[in-house]
Amino acid sequence: MQIINKKYSVVSSYLAITVFLFLFFSASLLIFGFSVQFSLFVSLIFVLFTIAILKFTVFTETTKLFSRIKDLEQHSMDYNAGIKLLIKRDLELNYANEKLNDLDQAKSNFISVVAHQLRTPLSGIKWTLNMILNGDMGEMNNDQKTFLMKAYESNNRMITLVNDMLDTDRIQSGKMHYNFRYINPVHLLDNVLFELGPQASKKNIYIGFENKLENIPQVFIDPETIRAVFQNLLENSIKYTMENGKIVLDVKIDGDMLEVLVKDNGIGIPEDQQKNIFNKFFRARNALKVETDGSGLGLNIAKTIVEKNGGKIWFESLEGRGSTFHFTLPIKGKTKQNLEQ
């Protein structure tokens, strides 16, 4: 519409100029003494000549206009075809997404059923082995105790794997329940250290704090899940730190967050594999050499839990030098409203 209006404007301008020139030219001839007939004749020839030029101009402009309209129609057809293709792709993606959700739900249900079915007999085996090892079924010699202890430890690893799979499934499906409340995180850390102390002592690993834990504020978190994060990071440090190693802990305020640090001088993580460290079932190649058992789910679970509690987790590591894991938690009164939402 704008193009057509522009063309009409051009034609109108040409007509106005032609009329003006006709009148001006006729008047000029009369002023110079030419007869009226001659003046009109010459002016008419001039007007006809001007009209011929005008027609040619209009024809040229019209040709350009139709060419432009044809281009616009082609663009419009291409645009409509693109829109239809996008709608088709969107429908296909929605259908594929629904299929993936169905498959994910089926996988989730399968893992949940299998894990629950495994956990019951594994718990029974653990209870039976524990009775035998405690001598409730009679005395055993050292070789028998050694083999039974290996079976007991393997059974515990299977139970841990099953529990990790169930935790991962609950987190992914949104079935994990969080009971947020105010708590001093140092109390959680002390409890975990008390439980893991014997493991560190077996390898003569020193665990200490970088700074005195004074005036540490409360945080608004789910204690049970954050306790699992403390346990996972400390267990990893103990597991992948050689004998006579060192683990340093620190808790400090960083703005409206509380930052927790777990640093060790263990085997570290290869640089080319650090990007995958929080992926499910991933274990670094040097970790596999040190400890063959492990689900590769712990850090993935820890990352999800920290984020659900309103924080974030990251790390630095050098292979052969050790790793430092950091995670943050919201300080009391700072993000309560956001977490509840």
Residue 126 contacts residue 134 (beta carbons within 8 Å): no
Residue 166 to residue 149: CA distance in whole angstroms: 26
**Span 41-59, average pLDDT:** 70
CB 311 within 8 A of CB 328: yes
Q: 50: which residues sit within 8 A by CB, 6+ positions away?
A: 18, 21, 22
Q: What is the pLDDT of residues 6-25, one digit of tens each?
A: 545 555 665 666 666 666 65
Residue 302's pLDDT band (cuts 50, 70, 90) = very high
Which stretch of DSSP H or E encloses residue 29? Answer: helix 2-31
Place of tokens 């008390």: 194
Distance CA 148, CA 172 (A): 36
What is residue 173's three-state secondary structure? Answer: helix
Q: Is the pLDDT of residue 252 over 50?
A: yes
CA distance 250 to 51: 93
- Copy the structure tokens of residue 334: 């700072």
Beta pairing partners, 50 = none
Q: What is the distance, to the nearest Å, from the Cα of residue 320 to the centroid of all Cα atoms in its chain?
A: 30
Which pLDDT value is given to residue 103? 76
Q: What CA–CA distances, in Å, run from 119 to 124, 158, 161?
A: 9, 9, 10
- pLDDT confidence of residue 127: 84
CA distances from residue 134 to 41, 142, 333 in whole angstroms, order as listed: 133, 13, 49
Round to whole Å and give the CA distance between 112 and 163.
Answer: 10
Q: Helices H, strands E: what count in the chain? A: 8, 7
Angle of the 298-308 helix axis to the 223-239 helix axis, nearest 10: 150
Is 263 in contact with 236 (CB distance < 8 Å)?
Answer: no
> How much is the pTM?
0.61
> Given this model, what pLDDT does residue 203 score?
93
Mean pLDDT of 305-317: 94
* pLDDT tens string 58-91: 778 888 888 888 888 888 888 888 888 888 888 8
Average pLDDT over residues 164-184: 79
- Ranked by mean pLDDT, the top range of 20-34, 90-104, 172-186, 297-311 is 297-311
Mean pLDDT score, 254-258? 89
What lies within 8 Å, CB to CB, of 306 at 6+ separation is 226, 229, 312, 313, 327, 328, 329
Stretch among 2-11, 144-153, 283-292 having the lowest mean pLDDT:
2-11
- The enclosing H or E element of 56 equals helix 36-133
Q: Is residue 340's pLDDT more than 50?
A: no
| Confidence class for position 339, pLDDT limits 50, 70, 90 | very low
pLDDT value for 341: 45
Please name the residue that has the structure tokens 């956990």: 119
Burial environment of residue 277 by CB neighbours within 10 A (0 to 12, 13 to 18, 19 or more)? buried
Arithmetic mean of pLDDT over the chain: 81
| Of the candidates 28, 338, 23, the residue with the CA atom closest to the CA atom of residue 180 | 338
274 has a pLDDT exceeding 90: yes
Q: What is the pLDDT of residues 213-233, one digit of tens each?
A: 778 889 999 998 999 999 999
**Phi/psi of residue 265, each to 5°?**
-115, 45
More confident of the two residues 54 and 255 = 255
Give the span between the Cα atoms of 284 and 295, in whole angstroms.
Answer: 12
pLDDT the model gives residue 321: 93
